[in-house]
């Protein structure tokens, strides 16, 4: 069985970071949170780190945030994202969002 993954992309050549995508449909209850896999594992250059941040539109319009901290250079596992629903209604992610 082949691994499921969607490669990260840049929204434009001016984008500061890359977009990551969910691999499955995920419902996050109001005021709830879920750990979502991306299927991506990559090395981070020595003496640097990576971080995750919510798209500003999703944060503003749907009250969706990101929890957790940095990804250190020594971490080699799958990049996962803690999605937090700060809103008063459930939010449904579809595969590929």
Q: Which CATH number does the domain housing residue 31 bear?
A: 2.70.40.10
Token pair, residue 82, equals 């803690």
| pTM of structure | 0.81
Q: Which domain holds residue 40?
A: 26-93
Q: Which of 1-5, 16-20, 67-71 is predicted with the least confidence, judged by mean pLDDT?
A: 1-5
User: How many structural domains does the chain have?
Assistant: 1
* 3-state percent helix, strand, coil for the chain, nearest multiple of 5: 5, 30, 65
String of b and e for 18-57 (b: at least 16 CB within 10 Å)?
eebbbbeebebeeeeebebbbbbeeebeeeeeeebebeee
Say if 85 falls within a structural domain. Answer: yes
Say if 15 falls within a structural domain. Answer: no
Give how far Cα 51 sits from Cα of 7, 31, 41, Å.
Answer: 17, 23, 14
pLDDT at 48 over 60: yes
pLDDT of the residue at 25: 93
Say if 11 falls within a structural domain. Answer: no
Say if 13 falls within a structural domain. Answer: no
pLDDT of the residue at 1: 46
Beta carbons of 71 and 4 less than 8 angstroms apart? no
pLDDT of the residue at 6: 65
Say if 66 falls within a structural domain. Answer: yes
Say if 2 falls within a structural domain. Answer: no
């Amino acid at each position: 069985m082949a691994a499921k993954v969607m490669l990260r992309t840049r929204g434009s050549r001016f984008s500061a970071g890359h977009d990551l995508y969910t691999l499955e449909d995920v419902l996050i209850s109001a005021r709830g949170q879920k750990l979502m896999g991306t299927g991506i594992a990559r090395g981070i250059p020595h003496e640097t780190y990576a971080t995750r941040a919510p798209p500003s539109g999703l944060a503003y319009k749907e009250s969706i945030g990101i929890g957790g901290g940095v990804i250190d250079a020594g971490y080699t596992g799958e990049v996962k994202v803690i999605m937090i629903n700060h809103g008063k209604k459930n939010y449904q992610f579809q595969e590929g969002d």
